[in-house]
Amino acid sequence: MTERKEGDFEERALDWLGRNWKLVTLLCWLGFCAWSIIMSWNQIRWFGLGDTDDNMRIMQVRALLHGQGWYDLRNYRMNPPYGANIHWSRLVDLPIAGLILVLRPFLGGAVAERWAVAIAPLVPYLLLLLSLGLTARRLLGPTAYVWTILGVFLAASTNGMFTPERIDHHGWQLALLALSVASIADRDKPSAAPLLRRFAELGYAVYATDATARFLTGQGVAATRVGKDGGDRTALRLIHEQAVSVVINTPTRGKIPGRAGFALRRAAFERHLPCFTSLDTAGAFLDVVTALHQGQILSPQAAAEISPL
C-alpha cells in the first residue's frame, strides 16, 4: 500500500511539473534574478559596466533618448567631429531605453539608468529558459525542461551573458538562437504537415489544438483551431459528440491518465473511432483510404460470401 501511494505521488508530481512548466520556469528565473542582483550589488551601485561593449551600448541608448534618429547609428564621441558608424542593432536598445523611461519619474535619471542596466540583461534570460525548456519538452518529454534549467544554471560562461550590467547584445543573440531551435525542434509536426495535407485533399476537415493549428496553417494546411480543455469547442468535446471520424495523437507520457492526450485516446477508443498514435500507422491507413478513393482496392467482403465451404 505504501509503495502504491508513493508511486501515485510521483506520478502526480511529474504530471504537475509537466502541466505547469511555464510557471516552474518563471519561478526559477525569478530566483536567478534575485541571486544575480544580490551578487552584482556593488556593480549596480557604482554603475560598473563590464567592458567597452557595455559602455558603448549605454552611450548608444543615451543618444537615442536624446533625440538621435533610429537609423542613425553613428557615435559622435568617436573620431570627432565625424563620428564612427556602429553596426549594432537598435532593437537591443529598446528594453534598456524603455526601463529608463519608466523608472526615471520615480528614481531620477542616474538611478533609473543603474537599475535599467541591471534589469535589462535578465529579460532575455527568461526567453532563453523558456525556449530551451520547450525544445526539451518537444524532443524528450514533458518534464525534461527541468534538466535544461539545471544545466543552464551550471553554465557559468552562458550565465555571464545575462548578469546585471551586461547590456551587450550577446545575451539576446543566445536567447533568439534558442528560440529558433525551439521553433523547429518537434518530432512530429514536420512529418504531420504533408500527411494531414493529404487527408484534407481527400475531403477531411482538419481540427488541431493551438500550436499545431498555427503550424499547419503556416504550412498551407487549412486547420480549424480547437482548445485542449475548457470552453465549448475542444478536441475532447468533438470526440464525445463523434464530430470527427479519425483521431491522430502521438503521446509523450501516455501512462498518465490526467494528461489531455490520454483522455483524447481513451475517448476515441470508447466511441470506436480510429485512433493513431504513430504517424507511420496513420500514413498506412491513409494509403488504403486513398487507394479506395481511386478504386484500386476491391470493397471488403465476408469470407462466407466468396468461399464455397
Structure confidence by residue, pLDDT tens digits, 63-112 = 999 999 988 888 888 888 888 888 888 899 999 999 999 999 999 989 99
* Whole-angstrom distance, CA of residue 118 vs CA of residue 167: 8
Q: Checking phi first, is residue 67 left (phi over 0); if not, alpha (psi -120 to 50) or beta?
A: left
Strands 223-225 and 247-248: unpaired
3-state SS assignment for residue 26: helix
- Greatest Cα pair distance, the chain, in angstroms, is 104
- Cα–Cα dist 114/118, whole Å: 6
Q: Nearest Cα to 159, choosing from 113, 124, 116?
A: 124
Query: What's the grid cell of residue 227?
Result: 482548445
What residues does 206 pair with on adjacent strands? 223
- What average pLDDT score do residues 163-169 get? 91
Among candidates 113, 100, 104, which has minimal Cα distance to 165? Answer: 113
Q: Pick the residue with more confidence: 219 or 270?
A: 270
User: What is the Cα–Cα distance from 251 to 209, expressed in whole angstroms?
Assistant: 14
Inter-CA distances, 259 with 12, 147, 156, 254, 280, Å: 10, 21, 36, 8, 23
Q: What pLDDT, on the 0 to 100 scale, is given for residue 227?
A: 79
Average pLDDT over residues 123-148: 89
Cβ neighbours of residue 235 under 8 Å, at least 6 residues apart? 207, 209, 226, 227, 228, 260, 264
What pLDDT digit, counting tens, does each position of 26-38 carry? 999 999 999 999 9
Cis upstream peptide for 81 (omega within 30°):
yes
For 76-95, the DSSP string reads: TTSSTTT-EE----GGGHHH
What integer pLDDT is reported at residue 248 of this predicted model? 86
CATH class of the domain whose range is 189-293: alpha beta
The C-alpha cell at 10 is 510521483
Confidence of residue 195 (pLDDT cuts 50, 70, 90): confident
Listed residue (187, 274, 137) closest to 264, CA to CA: 274
- Rounded mean pLDDT, 265-273: 87
The percent of the chain in helix, strand and coil, each rounded to the nearest 5, is 60, 5, 35
The pTM of the full predicted model, rounded to 2 decimals, is 0.65
Mean pLDDT of the chain: 84
What are the residue ranges spanned by the domains of the chain? 2-184, 189-293
Residue 256: left (phi > 0), alpha (psi -120 to 50), or beta?
beta
In the chain, beta strands by DSSP E = 74-75, 84-85, 206-208, 223-225, 247-248, 275-276
The pLDDT value given to residue 254: 46
